[in-house]
Amino acid sequence: MSSFESDPNLLLRCRRGDSAGWSLLVERYRRLVWSVIVKHRMRTEEAEDIFQHVFTTLITNIDGIHDENALASWLVTTTKRRCWRVSSQTRQSAERARSLDSDPDKSMDPVDSREDSIESRAQLEKQLVREGLERLGGKCKDLLEALFGAGGEPNYALIAEKIGIRVGSIGPTRARCLEKLTVVLSRMGFADAPDATPSVGSEPDID
Amino acid sequence: MTNHTPNSTPNRKVSIEQIADAASGVAGPALMAEVQSAATRDPRVAKLLSSFTSAVVAMKSDLLHEPSAETVMRAKALGARLATRRAESRSPITMLGEVFDRAGAVVLEWLNPDNGIALAGVRDDHGADVFEAVVDTAQITIRAERTIAKDGIVRMVGEVMRGDDMPVKAIIAVLDVDGVVLSTDATDALGMFAINLPIGSCEVVVSARAVDSTVHPTIVLPLGPSAPMRGGAAV
């Protein structure tokens, strides 16, 4: 397992003005924030603006984050609110000539909708998987990212060369790495992960 | 595609490798059926298959959620600048600077409480085009927007207003990174101004006048973590 820097530690570094810590924090959460923006179907220029706005809001309000272990949730909520606001402003601007019967902010705001809640949970679970990979580190992280994070059909020969294992070892290594990942995820509270104890060979229907 | 089961049997145990193959989408139809069959018989197999599949789906979908490198770089650069400033004193001037930083500008200065005001900014991101700052002590509000005209020239258009929405007389200057004044403008009767901006980094300094027309000396705060303080930047 790699040494994984916790969110509270990263936040502490940011509070002290450590720009390297800030850089790590942006790296860790860039995909989470972007996934929320993509889900709201923002235009490219708006998306980039929102992305920057969310992270600068974080750094300027960093003393106000009391639950440091809920940073991911904070980022999701902040990003959603910003998306709604920008969408509302865009729509108001486009429809200024017409009078609106309903409050655009209200109609845009799905904060209580079940669908939105489920979507947020899915985004947070994806973030957990990203963090799980970071915690896993080493060859397992490299292999799983090469297999599943590169898009298209994986090229086993290239992956084997890059990771430094035989092509024939990819299958067994993938299984071990996925199992290790699910153990890590279980400890992190990932809903789909089984109990933290590895299960290979000990269960009735698993060889 | 791999298939670890040349002869599929109904109640055969499955290995963790086969479960991983199924979750990864590389199992053939026979192995897939066998793993699914095992999953229906044994909740532990079902759970493992589900967790493997969830992790794989999450990893694959990450491709859709990758912001551009430039976007990430800008967020890091702006945040790093703000983070550094946080370590410095939390003076009202610094906080005013943060307001403009958030809007994509780095500010600047404001020294005298009796209506003298100046700000300077570096515009290095194309995402945030509008900013607003309220200087409570002087009861002055500055609103500005950067616009890119069809001729490609970037301009900053804005207004300087008092708290009671009356226009404020002010002079606006654009300085390059060496502090050389590139262009100036003055607010009109409505408190509005428009000024051309160069490509790249620059400072925008606003010097407002008090009611008695006095122009107060101004200081431009450092733009970066190691930049020295500069005084007397009033225009």
pLDDT digits (tens, 9 = 90+) for A29-79: 999 999 999 888 888 878 888 888 888 888 877 887 877 778 888 898 888
In a domain? residue A53: yes
In a domain? residue A1: no
Structure tokens, A33: 């924030």
For the complex shown, is ipTM > 0.90? no
User: What is the reported pLDDT for A25?
Assistant: 93
In a domain? residue A207: no
Q: Angle at CA B234, nearest 5°, toward B229 and B235?
A: 135
Q: Is the Cβ pair A17, B87 closer than 8 Å?
A: yes
The minimal CB distance from A26 to the residues B76, B98, B104 is found for: B76
Q: Environment class of residue A164 by beta-carbon count within 10 Å: exposed (0-12), middle (13-18) or buried (19+)?
A: exposed
User: What is the reported pLDDT for B113?
Assistant: 34
In a domain? residue A63: yes
Q: Is the Cβ pair A192, B54 closer than 8 Å?
A: yes
Distance of alpha carbon A180 from alpha carbon A102, whole angstroms: 51
By C-alpha distance, the chain A residue nearest B98 is A60
Instruction: Select, from the ranges A7-16, A115-124, A196-205, B165-174, the one with the highest average predicted confidence (pLDDT).
Output: A7-16
Helices (H), A95-151: 104-108, 114-136, 138-148
In a domain? residue A69: yes
- Quick check: helix, strand or coil at residue B224? coil
Residue B176 predicted with pLDDT over 50: yes
Sign of CA dihedral A85, A90, A92, A93: positive
- With tokens 């992960």, the residue in question is A193
Least confident range from A80-89, A97-106, B21-30: namely A97-106
Please state, rounded to an integer, the average pLDDT across all residues of chain A. 77
More confident residue, A96 or B164: B164
User: What is the reported pLDDT for B112?
Assistant: 32
Q: Which of A205, A196, A197 is nearest to B40 (CA)?
A: A205
Identify whether the C-beta of residue A39 lies closer than 8 Å to the C-beta of residue B65: no
Percent of chain A with pLDDT over 90: 9
Structure tokens, A67: 């639950």
User: What is the reported pLDDT for B152?
Assistant: 65
Percent of chain B with pLDDT over 70: 53
DSSP letter, residue B62 = G
Domain membership of residue A174 as a residue range: 7-202
By C-alpha distance, the chain B residue nearest A33 is B65
Q: Is the Cβ pair A45, B17 closer than 8 Å?
A: no
User: What is the reported pLDDT for B195?
Assistant: 81
More confident residue, A23 or B151: A23
Mean pLDDT, rounded, for B89-95: 50
- Identity of the amino acid at A78: T
CA distance, residue B99 to nearest chain A CA (Å) = 9
- Go through chain B and tell me how many residues it has: 235
Q: Is the Cβ pair A56, B78 closer than 8 Å?
A: yes
User: What is the reported pLDDT for B217?
Assistant: 39
Which residues in B lie closer than 8 A to residue A57 (C-beta atoms)?
102
Please state, rounded to an integer, the average pLDDT across all residues of chain B. 66
More confident residue, B107 or B51: B51
Residue B172 predicted with pLDDT over 60: yes
CA distance, residue B212 to nearest chain A CA (Å) = 36
Residue B33 predicted with pLDDT over 70: yes
Which residues in A lie closer than 8 A to residue B38 (C-beta atoms)?
205-206
The H-or-E segment that residue B134 falls in is strand B130-135
User: What is the reported pLDDT for B39?
Assistant: 92
CA distance, residue A41 to nearest chain B CA (Å) = 12
CA distance, residue B21 to nearest chain A CA (Å) = 7
Structure tokens, A46: 């708006």
Burial readout B77-98 (b: 16 or more C-beta within 10 A, e: otherwise) = bbbbbbbbbbeeeeeebeebbb
Mean pLDDT, rounded, for B58-80: 83
DSSP letter, residue B217 = P
User: What is the reported pLDDT for A1?
Assistant: 57
Identify whether the C-beta of residue A113 lies closer than 8 Å to the C-beta of residue A120: no
Residue B71 predicted with pLDDT over 80: yes
Mean pLDDT, rounded, for B35-46: 91
* Residue B124: band (very low, low, confident or very high) from pLDDT cuts 50, 70, 90: very low
pLDDT tens for A18-31 read 888 989 999 999 99
Q: Which of B45, B67, B209 is nearest to B140 (CA)?
A: B209
User: Strand order of the sheet with strand B203-208?
Assistant: B181-186, B170-175, B203-208
Residue B139 predicted with pLDDT over 70: no
The minimal CB distance from A147 to the residues B24, B50, B75 is found for: B24
Q: Is the Cβ pair A206, B23 closer than 8 Å?
A: no
The minimal CB distance from A125 to the residues B15, B58, B101 is found for: B58
In a domain? residue A52: yes
In a domain? residue A56: yes
Which residues in B lie closer than 8 A to residue A49 (C-beta atoms)?
127-128
- With tokens 């019967």, the residue in question is A101
Residue B129 predicted with pLDDT over 50: no
Domain count, chain A: 1
Least confident range from B33-42, B70-79, B198-207: namely B198-207
Which residues in B lie closer than 8 A to residue A145 (C-beta atoms)?
59
More confident residue, A151 or B232: A151
Q: Determine which of B4, B42, B86, B131 to mutate to test the interface with A (most A C-beta atoms within 10 Å).
A: B86
Distance of alpha carbon B225 from alpha carbon B219, whole angstroms: 16
User: What is the reported pLDDT for B119?
Assistant: 40
Q: Is the Cβ pair A56, B74 closer than 8 Å?
A: no
Q: DSSP strand E in chain A: where?
A: none
By C-alpha distance, the chain B residue nearest A169 is B17
**Alpha-carbon dihedral A40, A46, A49, A52, rounded to 10 degrees:** 20
By C-alpha distance, the chain A residue nearest B79 is A56
B24, B40, B56 from B50: Cα distances, Å: 11, 12, 10
Which residues in B lie closer than 8 A to residue A59 (C-beta atoms)?
79, 82-83, 86
By C-alpha distance, the chain B residue nearest A126 is B58
Mean pLDDT, rounded, for B172-192: 80
